[in-house]
Amino acid sequence: GENVEQHPSTLSVQEGDSAVIKCTYSDSASNYFPWYKQELGKRPQLIIDIRSNVGEKKDQRIAVTLNKTAKHFSLHITETQPEDSAVYFCAASWGNYGQNFVFGPGTRLSVLP
Amino acid sequence: DVKVTQSSRYLVKRTGEKVFLECVQDMDHENMFWYRQDPGLGLRLIYFSYDVKMKEKGDIPEGYSVSREKKERFSLILESASTNQTSMYLCASSLTGVSGSKTQYFGPGTRLLVL
């Protein structure tokens, strides 16, 4: 079955710097790759996603890139702010019915003022 | 705006008790999921349901069962709670994906402590 690895497990950056989190997946049938942000004590919330027919997607300070050949996708956060501090989860999904999801183990991002 | 609610934010139960966790969504989503979240292990799928009365085992179904009698409601049942089931339980829902969106929307979570 699908396996999603995520690195690093923890990441500390200075405010204003960029942060990059990388995920790799194993099943070439995966076609949807969301990223979720979970602030302390809150529910995971979708921040950006990308489908397999797209190589890059950007939303303000957040971008996701996908390399299907290498089976990896990355989250890029620019100009980090303290409110970006959270745990970030990547996921890979295959099939057309939204039922097949595997999440990565998460990355704890700390943005230091 | 999608709303997913869970019946309790915190629960304390004793070993051997039967525990019910309930999840309700108001967006007519076909898919509903139960995850368990433990530090360093991410979100692990316990069960999911793609329609009323339909269910599929996830990665860690042992010790759990589920019920979906109505489309908006998905219940997780711990038949006989054990201390290793102490965890955060998250419910999620999504459309089938045929419409184009497979985004999962999560509930606030239930933190369960089994003594």
pLDDT of residue B98: 62
B94–chain A Cβ distance below 8 A for any pair: yes
Nearest Cα of chain B lies from the Cα of A9 at a distance, in angstroms, of 8
Rounded Cα distance, A109 and A9, in Å: 9
Residue B34: per-residue pLDDT: 97
What is the amino acid identity at position A36? Y
Q: Say if the Cβ atoms of A96 and B98 lie within 8 Å.
A: yes
* Residue A80 CA: distances (Å) to CA of A19, A61, A76, A93, A111: 7, 8, 10, 28, 7
* A82 upstream amide cis, omega within 30 of 0: no
Joined tokens for residue B45: 């799928």
Share of chain B above pLDDT 70, in %: 95
Q: What is the mean pLDDT of residues B73-81?
A: 97
Q: Do A43 and B43 touch (CB under 8 A)?
A: no
Q: Min CA distance, B12 vs chain A (Å)?
A: 18
* Per-residue pLDDT band at B2 (split at 50, 70, 90): low
Q: What is the pLDDT of residues B7-59, one digit of tens each?
A: 999 999 999 999 999 999 999 999 999 999 998 888 999 999 999 999 999 99
Phi, psi for B56 (deg, rounded to 5) = -135, 145
State the pLDDT at residue B96: 78
Token pair recorded at residue A87: 């745990």
Nearest C-alpha of chain B: how many angstroms from A96?
6
